[in-house]
């Protein structure tokens, strides 16, 4: 097999792998849907107030995908799965506040003892060095369960 044909096969394989990953990411079932009444930061992105769904990517339980209901705002961030006993009764999101900026820090689903602690971004680590953070724990109703 000549080198040109080999490169084409490798390139085609790469694009097929990307396409398959994209299709499987679109078929993820929503784990949580909440309405957040304020702007907040996830990783390096500021997301506007609104309704969001949270889910783990298939085969990647350490990646949390966050997407607005209108699909205009989205982020993917690393998270560490953690277990708590007992399971929280209500869905809870924990934010760290630095002045007017709120950084999403933890996600806990009501009734599930497994939660996610989000990895701090470079921006948040820099703010933490110069500012005292206030932790704000807010309970949210899962929008899927209210229908």
The 10s digit of each residue's pLDDT in 71-93 is 899 999 998 888 888 888 888 89
Burial of 124 (0-12, 13-18, 19+ CB in 10 A): buried
How confident is the model at residue 87, as a pLDDT? Answer: 85
Contact between 97 and 136 (Cβ < 8 Å): yes
Return the percentage of the chain with pLDDT > 90, whole number.
28
Which residue intervals of the chain are DSSP H helices?
3-26, 122-130
For residues 48-55, give the mean pLDDT: 93
How confident is the model at residue 99, as a pLDDT? Answer: 83
Burial track 28-63 (b if 16+ CB lie within 10 A, e otherwise): eeebbbbebeeebbbbeeebeebebbbbbeeeeeeb
pTM: 0.71
Which range is most confident: 1-5, 28-32, 106-110, 140-144? Answer: 106-110
CA pair distance 70, 89, nearest whole angstrom: 28
- Alpha carbon of residue 48 to chain centroid: 14
């Amino acid at each position: 097999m000549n080198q040109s044909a080999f490169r084409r096969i490798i390139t085609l394989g790469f694009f097929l792998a990307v396409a398959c990953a994209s299709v499987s990411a679109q078929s993820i079932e929503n784990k949580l849907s909440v309405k957040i009444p304020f702007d907040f930061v996830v990783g390096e992105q500021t997301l506007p107030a609104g309704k969001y769904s949270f889910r783990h990517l298939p085969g990647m339980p350490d990646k949390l995908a966050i997407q607005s209901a209108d699909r205009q705002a989205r982020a993917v961030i690393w998270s560490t799965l953690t277990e708590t006993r007992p399971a929280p009764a209500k869905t809870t999101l924990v934010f760290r506040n630095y002045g007017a900026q709120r950084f999403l820090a933890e996600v806990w689903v009501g009734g599930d003892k497994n939660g996610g602690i989000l990895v701090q971004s470079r921006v948040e680590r820099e703010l933490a060095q110069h500012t005292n953070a206030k932790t704000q724990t807010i309970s949210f109703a899962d929008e899927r369960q209210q229908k």
